[in-house]
Amino acid sequence: MCQSEARRGPELSAAKWLHFPQLALRRRLGQLSCMSRPALKLRSWPLTVLYYLLPFGALRPLSRVGWRPVSRVALYKSVPTRLLSRAWGRLNQVELPHWLRRPVYSLYIWTFGVNMKEAAVEDLHHYRNLSEFFRRKLKPQARPVCGVHCVISPSDGKILNFGQVKNSEVEQVKGVTYSLESFLGPRTSVEDLPFPPAASCNSFRSQLVTREGNELYHCVIYLAPGDYHCFHSPTDWTVSHRRHFPGSLMSVNPGMARWIKELFCHNERVVLTGDWKHGFFSLTAVGATNVGSIRIYFDRDLHTNSPRYSKGSYNDFSFVTQANREGIPMRKGEHLGEFNLGSTIVLIFEAPKDFDFKLKAGQKIRFGEALGSL
């Protein structure tokens, strides 16, 4: 009896020693649960980062005492991407010494596969800073504009998705959708627009279709850091309205687009809407990490990536005035705007039912090549 008690003595003491950290952690977690949400998120950050970085699930035993790591998506959304993008933008404006330009730009060219033979100026010493290099122009013959097809690619990039818009939901990548109304924002009053809806309908998609028998189509083009960063008019159309959504500046690469639902609705974007010969037409430039700067050449009042903004807010501007009743006419292939690095272009437009895309998902495309035709 004494021997069994003697044997159980060390076991009890060991069990007590093992239970002590759990009790202490439970008390600590109880204190954390009483904290405000911002403070709780701040205190959970270090453990969460370690949870995902350390090998072999080193911190998984913490789950036994009630602790749960912040999700990867929530963790990524907490990164101050707007602040980082503004800092990157200022760094891009710093003039590089003449001797440093070639090695810096050569490293970028090698990393992202940039074809400098297409650049209007091939001499790397010509570009005073990274911003000028990112926004380099192309030789006129480098991107011939297709004259046969009615809609061309507005930029270089990769086709992420395309097709008809169904149930007011649009695919950002295969299997991951976002709301059309959340992306474009609520429709402005019918009186202010040159394209009244074909019929009154509760569906947001149907509100955008202006002619009987037409369908609504979409196309998503991802611009990688090594791509040509300017974008052009994809067709002959008239821009009547601009809506600017301040927002996050998360990465929009295809992997991230599969990971975060409604990514394009969270990010800062500039929506240009108007009409073409078949009805409603829109082009949206979506910002991304280090791409807070979105420039529209004819819109001098547009300022993106401001330090402060209200979540969910947007700013409207109409190009239809007393002096200009039609808006801004754009010709197919005409310069429209530019990004600082890479990002995403989303086209949403209506066309007759026999509109046919000349694309494959995942294919590389260049500005001026055909997107589709009737």
Of the residues 155, 156, 227, 244, which is catalytic? Answer: 156
DSSP bridge partners of 271:
243, 284
Of the residues 131, 153, 229, 232, which is catalytic? Answer: 232
- Is-catalytic flag, 232? yes
Decide if 284 contacts 272 (C-beta within 8 A): yes
Decide if 161 contacts 218 (C-beta within 8 A): yes
- Is-catalytic flag, 278? no
Two structure tokens written together for 302 = 């547009």
DSSP percent split of the chain into helix, strand, coil, nearest 5: 35, 25, 40
CA angle 331, 333, 334 (to 5 degrees): 60
CA distance 267 to 247: 5
Cα dihedral across residues 340, 155, 157, 264: positive or negative: positive
DSSP bridge partners of 179:
169
The torsion angles phi and psi of 161, rounded to 5 degrees, stand at -165, 160
32-64 burial, b if ≥16 CB within 10 A, otherwise e? eeeeeeeeeeeebeeebeebeeeeeeeeeebee
- Is-catalytic flag, 343? yes
Two structure tokens written together for 363 = 């294919």
Active site residues: 156, 232, 343
